[in-house]
Amino acid sequence: MHVVQISFFVDPQRRPPAALLREWRSLVDVAAAAASAGTRVTVVQASMVPGEIMQSGVAFHFVAPPVTGAALANAGAFRALVQELKPDVFHVHGLGFAREVLELRALTPNVPILLQDHADRVPSFWRRAIWRRGAAAAGGISFCARAQAEPFRRARLLTPGIGIFEIPESTSKFVPGDPIAARVATGIHGAPALLWVGHLNANKDPLTVLEGVSAAARELPGLRLWCCYASAPLLSAVEARIAGDPVLRERVHLMGRVPHDRIERLMQAADLFVLGSRREGCSFALLEAMATGLTPIVTDIPASRALIGNSSVGALWRCGDAQSLCSALRLGVAELATRPRARVRAHFDQELSSAALARKWSAAYQSVVGQRSHAAANVVTP
């Protein structure tokens, strides 16, 4: 089977292909995972900088995107490449490219299309007609959690019977390591040592996390929280909350932006991974934490619930509820005595690893191909 994965997302920084693949790791990881099952995978990436790269057994083609308002069929580079590749399935990244999907269907009417959600939202009312038509042209849609399809169903945007596949948005190459050596290398300490990796913004809700940590520290005096973040619109509020609470002042360490390879070492050193997200398409930081065997203490939202297997590992807590976080932290600390790292990593291997994604994507591709073949077989020829 030949799968052509298409990304219409255009890099606003106009980075060259090699740099883009280094920065957009998910683009490589999803393609490589699918290819590892023996599927032939080609990626067509919209790019202002043309090029071709072979990586991880996948051919990446960087071609000029279709011009806004112009038919894909008339966009020379895309049209020629799509016809040359002769795919069995199109795997389109994102749900926000209805017009392009419809033009792709017109160009190759017999090739099934599978869409992959990337934290997409229900479109505004005046865009729903075109969005609905684009979704109807697809044989299936993948979400990190099946529940993420429900807002689209309630808005009547999905065709009854469309295939919904629950597949993590990506995976991680992080691995477990010696926690003691990692603590020596990073300086992380605490009993327990909590790690936060995420922006300091309203969606990640660091203020509720701080409130919960403050409450938990009264029962867990050795607790320490280590925070890695890039953008930080709430930094002033976070600093003020820490400064105003003597329990937090000696326990919270704001580390700022940390190189990606050092994140792996920090995760190997910590005891628990904590996030306060109110909404996620799929938390890449959570995937990375679980890849190292780090126990997750995360909010009870569809994506996180799916990733940790409905609390098969770690614990869930209610969004915006500091006392719920405090209780979840107590549960997490109690689990540490059972040496849960191997269990977390085993769950990752089974459900979230590259091999797991390969299995799930292969099944999804076979499903939409079978669905298309069945529909073609039932067409009555006059």
In the block, residue with structure tokens 């038919």: 71
Asked if residues 168 and 142 have their Cβ atoms less than 8 Å apart, the reply is no
CA 303 vs. chain centroid, Å, equals 9
- Rg over CA atoms, the chain: 22
Whether the predicted model's global pTM rises above the 0.75 cut: yes
Structure tokens at 299: 């909010």
In the block, residue with structure tokens 């017999």: 110
Return the beta strands (E) in the chain as ranges.
2-7, 40-46, 51-55, 58-63, 89-93, 113-116, 140-143, 163-166, 193-197, 224-228, 252-256, 272-274, 295-299, 315-317
Contacts of 8 (CB under 8 A, 6+ apart): 46, 65, 66, 92, 93, 94, 97, 100
Q: What is the pLDDT of residue 72?
A: 58
Q: Which residues of the chain have pLDDT under 70?
A: 66-75, 372-382
Q: Which domains does the chain have, with CATH numbers?
A: 2-170+356-377 (3.40.50.2000), 179-351 (3.40.50.2000)
Give the closest residue to 174 by CA, choosing from 286, 315, 36, 56. Answer: 286
CA 250 vs. chain centroid, Å, equals 33
Three-class DSSP category at 272: strand
Q: What is the pLDDT of residue 373?
A: 61
Q: What is the pLDDT of residue 27?
A: 93
Structure tokens at 222: 């050795």
CA distances from 115 to 8, 92, 124, 322 (A): 12, 5, 19, 37
Return the beta strands (E) in 28-159 as ranges.
40-46, 51-55, 58-63, 89-93, 113-116, 140-143
